[in-house]
Structure 1
Amino acid sequence: MIALARKTMVHEWRRFLPAIFAVGFSGLLLMVQAALVLGIFGSAAVYVTASSAQLWVGYPGTQSVNFGREIGPDVEMRLRMDPDVTDVEPYQWVEGDWHNLGRSGGGIPVFVSGVRTDVDAMMFSRLLSAPLRQRLRDPGAVIVDRSDLEQLGTSVGASAWLNGQRVRIVAAVTGLRALGGVNVLSSIDTARQLRVGDPSMGATYFVARTRDPDRAQAVRDRLGASATFGPFSVWTAEEFAWKSKLYWMFDTGAGIAVLFMAGIVCLVGAVVTSQSLLAVVAASAREYAVLNALGASLRALGRVVLEQACWIAGVGLLMGGLSSGVLLWVASQNDVPVSMSLPVALGCSALVVGLALVSGLIALRGLLRADPAMLLR
Structure 2
Amino acid sequence: MIALARKTLVYEWRRFVPVVVSIGFSGVLLLVQAALVLGIFGSASLYVTASSGDLWVGYPGTQSVNFGRAISPDLPMRLRMDPAVTAVEPYLWVDADWAAERSAGNVSIYLSGISTRADAMMFARLLPAPLRERLREPGAVIVDPSDLDTLAVEPGGRAWINAHPVRVVGTLPGLRGLGGVNVLASLDTAATIGGRGAEDGATYYLARTASPAAALEAHERLSRPDSRFGPHEVWTAQAFAERTQRYWLVDTGAGVAVLFMSIIVCAVGALITGQSLSAAIASSSREYATLNAMGVSRGTMVRVVLEQAAWLGGVGVVFAALVGAALLVVASAHQVPVAMTPLVAAGCVGIVVVLVLLSSVSAVRRQLDIEPATLLR
**TM-score of the aligned structures, taking structure 2 as reference length:** 0.98
Is the Cα contact below 8 Å between 2:73 and 2:199 reproduced in 1? Answer: no
SS in 1 for 2:96: strand
Cα deviation, 1:175-227, whole Å, max 9, x if unaligned, reads 10111110000000000011056675210000000022222122111101132
* Alignment of structure 1 residues 131-280 onto 2, 5 Å: 131-196=130-195, 200-228=199-227, 229-280=229-280
**Counterpart residue number, 1:301:** 301
The 2-side partners of 1:48 and 1:198 are apart by 24
The 2-side partners of 1:258 and 1:199 are apart by 41
Q: Tell me the CA shift for residue 79 of structure 1.
A: 0.1
The 1-side partners of 2:212 and 2:245 are apart by 22
SS in 1 for 2:72: coil
**Counterpart residue number, 1:336:** 336
Cα deviation, 1:246-303, whole Å, max 9, x if unaligned, reads 1000000001101111100100111111111111111001011111111211111111
The 2-side partners of 1:205 and 1:168 are apart by 25
Identity %: 58
Residues 1:124 and 1:327: Cα distance change in structure 2 (over 3 Å): same
The 1-side partners of 2:281 and 2:232 are apart by 63
SS in 1 for 2:368: helix
The code of the aligned residue for 1:231 comes to P
Cα deviation, 1:50-104, whole Å, max 9, x if unaligned, reads 10111000000000000000100111110000000000000000011001134x3
Q: Tell me the CA shift for residue 306 of structure 1.
A: 1.1
Is the Cα contact below 8 Å between 1:114 and 1:186 reproduced in 2? Answer: yes
Is the Cα contact below 8 Å between 1:285 and 1:369 reproduced in 2? Answer: no
SS in 2 for 1:122: coil
The code of the aligned residue for 2:335 comes to D
**Which consecutive residues of structure 2, in runs of 5 or more, have no partner in the other structure?**
none
Residue 360 (structure 1) aligned with residue 329 (structure 2): no
SS in 2 for 1:225: coil
**Counterpart residue number, 1:312:** 312
**Counterpart residue number, 1:346:** 346
The code of the aligned residue for 1:135 comes to R
**Counterpart residue number, 1:61:** 61
Is the Cα contact below 8 Å between 1:302 and 1:367 reproduced in 2? Answer: no
**Counterpart residue number, 1:285:** 285
Q: Tell me the CA shift for residue 137 of structure 1.
A: 0.2
The code of the aligned residue for 1:190 comes to T
SS in 2 for 1:88: strand
**Counterpart residue number, 2:112:** 113
The 1-side partners of 2:244 and 2:140 are apart by 28
The code of the aligned residue for 1:156 comes to P
The 1-side partners of 2:128 and 2:316 are apart by 42
**Counterpart residue number, 1:9:** 9
Residues 1:329 and 1:159: Cα distance change in structure 2 (over 3 Å): same
The 1-side partners of 2:168 and 2:280 are apart by 61
Cα deviation, 1:314-338, whole Å, max 9, x if unaligned, reads 1101100110000000100110000
Is the Cα contact below 8 Å between 1:117 and 1:137 reproduced in 2? Answer: yes
**Which consecutive residues of structure 1, in runs of 5 or more, have no partner in the other structure?**
none
Q: Tell me the CA shift for residue 365 of structure 1.
A: 2.5
The count of corresponding residues between Structure 1 and Structure 2 is 376
Is the Cα contact below 8 Å between 2:73 and 2:198 reproduced in 1? Answer: no
Residue 96 (structure 1) aligned with residue 114 (structure 2): no
SS in 1 for 2:299: helix
The 1-side partners of 2:195 and 2:63 are apart by 23
**Counterpart residue number, 1:49:** 49
Q: Tell me the CA shift for residue 174 of structure 1.
A: 0.7
The 1-side partners of 2:287 and 2:214 are apart by 65
Is the Cα contact below 8 Å between 1:80 and 1:86 reproduced in 2? Answer: yes
**Counterpart residue number, 1:127:** 126
SS in 1 for 2:295: coil
The 2-side partners of 1:149 and 1:275 are apart by 47
The code of the aligned residue for 1:8 comes to T
Cα deviation, 1:341-370, whole Å, max 9, x if unaligned, reads 111101111011111111111112232353
Is the Cα contact below 8 Å between 1:193 and 1:199 reproduced in 2? Answer: no
SS in 2 for 1:175: coil
